[in-house]
Amino acid sequence: MKVLLTTLNSKFIHSNLAIHYLYSYWERYKSDETIKLELKEYTINHNLDQILSDIVNGEYDAIVVSAYVWNIEALDILFSNFNQINHNIPIYFGGPEVSAHPETSLANRSYLKGILYGEGERVFYNLMTSFLEKKEGGILYDKVRGLAFKTDVGTILINSSEPLIKDLDSIPFPYQSLAPFKNRIIYYESMRGCPFQCSYCLSAKEKGVRFFSLQRVKKDLDFFLAEKIPQVKFVDRTFNINKNHALAIMNYVCDHDNGITNFHFEITGTLLDEDYFNVIKRSRAGLFQFEIGIQTTHYETLIAINRPIDKELLFKNIKKLMDTGKLHIHLDLIAGLPYENFDTFLNSFDEAYNLLPHQLQLGFLKIIKGTPLESHLVEHDYLVRKQSPYEILSNRYIDYQSLSLLKDVETLLEVYYNSQKFRHSIQYAMVASGIKASQFFLQLRTFYEKQNKMYAAINIYERFELLNLFQYELEIDHDLFNDLLKLDYYLDHLTGNRTIFHYAEQENFNFNRNKLIKNKDVLSRVNSRFANMSTKEILKSITLISLRYDIIELVKTGYNHVILKDKLILINFEFSNYQLEPYQYHQFDYDETIK
């Protein structure tokens, strides 16, 4: 018998941890070799007909699929067509998208034989074992715990659920070889479950938290560290819920740092204390990356979504994390939550923005099957898109037009803030004009709209040009802004002489530039590796530009103190620090380099 275990990821760089667990659990505990189990990952961007043909040609006897919110619609197309070609081959779905309401999910899909609901490893094992026990009369489905299935006459039966696995260490490490994960994100779990009950989140469904032992986690991490993979993304729902567990892991990776691997954790900011800051302070810059869900700062909303957080403490801790300069901080907000209107959301946005995180993700509420919020839609007048990922259209507090405006703000936030390509110019514009971040992006949106550019395909050069035009809507020093834009432009590895920059390089720029690139003393202070490199080689890693202001002073004073003075800027691209600081630049006085 030949069984296919498959899924569609949302993009090639992602992988599906669940099916790797299912596969390795079966391979470890199976009692028989008669079933050949094949694992295959596709993406939703693959041509569905090619996937269909691949699966048909595989000549499988049964197909088991992992269904999530990002792939369910493509799966419906794929397997309803497959079922027309091969209607005798049973297809089973498992995963969060079908687990919450197995009966409806099964009833709505004529092509499905069954749904495996809940935690997957044991349930999948049960199904595979039932294949082995296949008797003449067919498969003994009634024995398979965690299965909802259709009888031969089409009635739906739901078997009792499979209890959660008590000892997580009994689940084998899913990454036996990293070959299939080349250039893809490695997801990893050190625990399961979440103690919080945030009403929009699926993790609220599962009660209790279980941990893999530290001994096991350390062994797994050794493997990742030895393989020098760029990033391990922990999918622990709240990584720092247990201080001993979290600190032991952080200390371990700090002590065994290979200089390359970065570890991403989703944490709760209010649970951080000095012990966490101590390990962060002694860590390599870029070793850790934290994702922190703020979601909203509106009190009534926080209570309604069951996140009664201490905002002061959360913000204090985030600021402290930013001040360490050691880690990449990613903050999340969600628009469309109960009791949050347009103005309160803009306020949440401004408060989060003022922390100046490396990434600020402005998300839009999705109504996920099985979440507590799903049963409160009428109360808040939610209108929800029928297609996955079931994003809301409006509710009692925010209308569709306001959400659309926020969508445009999100687009511009991605381009002008999260890309980090405009960090000097944007920050200066906000400080100097005294405009709040939300108003800045809303005004920028109106400007884009007037130029007919909001929904146009725009390249990076045009983004610079549009921002340069937009600056005239603000009361700021336009020459300084233009110089900062020039700095941002060259920091982003962009080259060429752009007409949008007001000042061409200074008259004696080439003379000074040549002096500097031959001055090994100065260059080796910038980067010790330059001491032994030829000028030609050095020129490949640096860019030199001239500016008319003291940029270091400006940045140091939070963009408040401006000194007009010609400067030579050396951008050093050699320096790279995982997502934290993609470049380093040095500033020289003209007299300094001429000497």
By CB under 6 A, is residue 331 in contact with ligand B12?
A: no
Please say which residue, 67 or 467, places its beta carbon nearer to ligand B12: 67
- Closest approach of Cβ 8 to ligand B12, in Å? 8
CA 172/CA 158 separation, integer angstroms: 28
Dmax (CA) for the chain in angstroms is 94
List binders of ligand B12 among 496-555 (CB under 6 A): none
By CB under 6 A, is residue 68 in contact with ligand B12?
A: yes
User: Total residues contacting ligand B12 (rule CB under 6 A)?
Assistant: 37
- Closest approach of Cβ 469 to ligand B12, in Å? 32
Which of the stretches 10-18, 23-31, 548-556, 574-582 binds ligand B12 when contact is defined by CB under 6 A? 10-18
Please say which residue, 368 or 538, places its beta carbon nearer to ligand B12: 368
Name the residue among 380, 385, 368, 389 with its Cα closest to residue 199.
368
CA 201/CA 93 separation, integer angstroms: 21
| Sign, CA torsion 179/181/184/186 | negative
Residue nearest ligand B12 (C-beta atom): 94
Kindly tell me which residue out of 66, 427, 512, 546 binds ligand B12, with binding defined by CB under 6 A: 66
| Residue 313 half-sphere exposure toward CB, CA atoms < 13 A | 9
Kindly tell me which residue out of 184, 389, 446, 506 binds ligand B12, with binding defined by CB under 6 A: 389
CA 263/CA 217 separation, integer angstroms: 13
Alpha helices in 542-582, H assignment, sequence order = 551-556
Please say which residue, 71 or 471, places its beta carbon nearer to ligand B12: 71
By CB under 6 A, is residue 14 in contact with ligand B12?
A: yes
Which of the stretches 89-97, 320-328, 510-518, 570-578 binds ligand B12 when contact is defined by CB under 6 A? 89-97
Residues 309 and 270 sit within 8 Å (Cβ to Cβ): yes
Kindly tell me which residue out of 3, 6, 21, 318 binds ligand B12, with binding defined by CB under 6 A: 21
Kindly tell me which residue out of 16, 130, 190, 301 binds ligand B12, with binding defined by CB under 6 A: 16
CA 535/CA 540 separation, integer angstroms: 9
Please say which residue, 70 or 173, places its beta carbon nearer to ligand B12: 70
Phi and psi angles of residue 82, each rounded to the nearest 5 degrees, phi first: -60, -45
Please say which residue, 104 or 510, places its beta carbon nearer to ligand B12: 104
List binders of ligand B12 among 99-128 (CB under 6 A): 116, 119-121, 123-124
- Closest approach of Cβ 384 to ligand B12, in Å? 13
By CB under 6 A, is residue 363 in contact with ligand B12?
A: yes
Residues 34 and 1 sit within 8 Å (Cβ to Cβ): yes
What single DSSP character describes residue 193? -
Query: x/- contact string, 186-225, with ligand B12 (CB under 6 A)?
Result: -x-x-----------xxx----------------------
Q: Long-range contacts of range 293-297, CB-CB < 8 Å, 24 or more positions apart?
A: 293/266, 293/331, 293/332, 294/331, 294/332, 294/333, 294/348, 294/352, 295/198, 295/332, 295/333, 295/334, 295/337, 296/333, 296/334, 296/337, 296/340, 296/344, 296/345, 296/348, 297/347, 297/348, 297/351, 297/352
- Closest approach of Cβ 202 to ligand B12, in Å? 4
CA distances from 435 to 200, 443, 474 (A): 32, 10, 9
Residue 154: strand, helix, or coil:
coil
List binders of ligand B12 among 404-423 (CB under 6 A): none
Please say which residue, 128 or 309, places its beta carbon nearer to ligand B12: 128
Q: Which residues contact 22 (CB under 8 A, 6 or more apart)?
A: 5, 64, 66, 120, 121, 124
Burial class (CB in 10 A: 0-12, 13-18, 19+), 360: buried
CA 488/CA 585 separation, integer angstroms: 11
- Closest approach of Cβ 171 to ligand B12, in Å? 8
Residues 126 and 147 sit within 8 Å (Cβ to Cβ): yes
CA 575/CA 583 separation, integer angstroms: 5
- Closest approach of Cβ 163 to ligand B12, in Å? 13
Which of the stretches 7-15, 49-57, 106-114, 308-316 binds ligand B12 when contact is defined by CB under 6 A? 7-15
Kindly tell me which residue out of 95, 193, 286, 336 binds ligand B12, with binding defined by CB under 6 A: 95
By CB under 6 A, is residue 64 in contact with ligand B12?
A: yes
Residue with tokens 């983004």: 463
By CB under 6 A, is residue 96 in contact with ligand B12?
A: yes
- Closest approach of Cβ 189 to ligand B12, in Å? 6
Please say which residue, 201 or 409, places its beta carbon nearer to ligand B12: 201
By CB under 6 A, is residue 9 in contact with ligand B12?
A: yes
- Closest approach of Cβ 386 to ligand B12, in Å? 14
Structure tokens at 311: 């905002």
- Closest approach of Cβ 120 to ligand B12, in Å? 3
Please say which residue, 66 or 512, places its beta carbon nearer to ligand B12: 66
Please say which residue, 97 or 408, places its beta carbon nearer to ligand B12: 97
CA 462/CA 319 separation, integer angstroms: 34
Kindly tell me which residue out of 150, 264, 366, 424 binds ligand B12, with binding defined by CB under 6 A: 366
C-alpha dihedral, 485 to 489 to 490 to 492, nearest 10°: 130
* Contacting residues toward ligand B12, per CB under 6 A: 9-10, 14-18, 21-22, 64, 66, 68-70, 94-97, 116, 119-121, 123-124, 187, 189, 201-203, 235, 237, 363, 366, 368-369, 388-389
